[in-house]
Chain A
Amino acid sequence: KAGVTQTPRYLIKTRGQQVTLSCSPISGHRSVSWYQQTPGQGLQFLFEYFSETQRNKGNFPGRFSGRQFSNSRSEMNVSTLELGDSALYLCASRSGSEQYFGPGTRLTVT
């Protein structure tokens, strides 16, 4: 089976812009979670989607949003980008209790 894929892999944006990241889970997996990884805060949970419904959301401002489509692909959107949003954004698809991660999208905000 193909693994979790994320696009794009690298992204450079300017403060105030918005960005959309995409994640395709492993075939058959219906759950997708998003995590933000920064040197200062480490790995932090953003949200989880299961069958197109947001099941859980981490402690992030409303500028961070997401959605999931009927084919389980998920997108994450960040509006009004701030310098502190620079991070590696990881997507994971779940089977049972195990989460499998994609390669991540490296977002740089200038």
Chain B
Amino acid sequence: AQTVTQSQPEMSVQEAETVTLSCTYDTSESNYYLFWYKQPPSRQMILVIRQEAYKQQNATENRFSVNFQKAAKSFSLKISDSQLGDTAMYFCAFILYSGAGSYQLTFGKGTKLSVIP
């Protein structure tokens, strides 16, 4: 079974500063994808960033970047130049790739991030 662990239930950061959210996962598979989703108070789940396990290069999306350490099964999210709109729950998620099979996201418990003005 796949598990995803987010060890920081809550974090806060000053506006314009940088914050890193941690995530570890456990799987015996070698071919998979990792994601960070953001869920603001509106409850709409928004895809922030994606990382393919077979790629060594860390993914980046504007102010969001990841530090993917496959051997350590670690997948942290760095948010640079934090903005008030970044205030949300952040979920780390894991999906197994199967050419003909099903996809099932396994989520961590989430980290509540508050950006302070």
Contacts and interface: CB of A to CB of B under 8 A. Distances in A.
A97 B97 contact: yes
Complex A-B, nearest 8 residue pairs according to Cβ-Cβ distance, in ascending order: A56-B102, A101-B45, A55-B102, A43-B107, A97-B33, A45-B104, A42-B109, A48-B102
Interface of A: 31, 33, 35, 42-43, 45, 48, 50, 55-56, 58, 88, 90, 92, 94, 97-101, 103-104, 106
Given A42-B109, A97-B50, A98-B50, A58 B104 contact: yes
A97 B103 contact: yes
Contact of A56 (B47, B104, B107): B104
B100 to A, nearest CB: 10
Contacts of B47: 98-101
Interface of B: 33, 35, 37, 42-47, 50, 52, 91, 95, 97, 101-110
B91 A43 contact: yes
| A interface secondary structure, majority | strand
Given A58-B104, A99-B103, A103-B43, 8 more contacts: A48-B104, A55-B102, A56-B101, A94-B103, A98-B35, A103-B42, A104-B44, A106-B43
B45 A90 contact: yes
Contacts of B103: 31, 33, 48, 56, 94, 97, 99
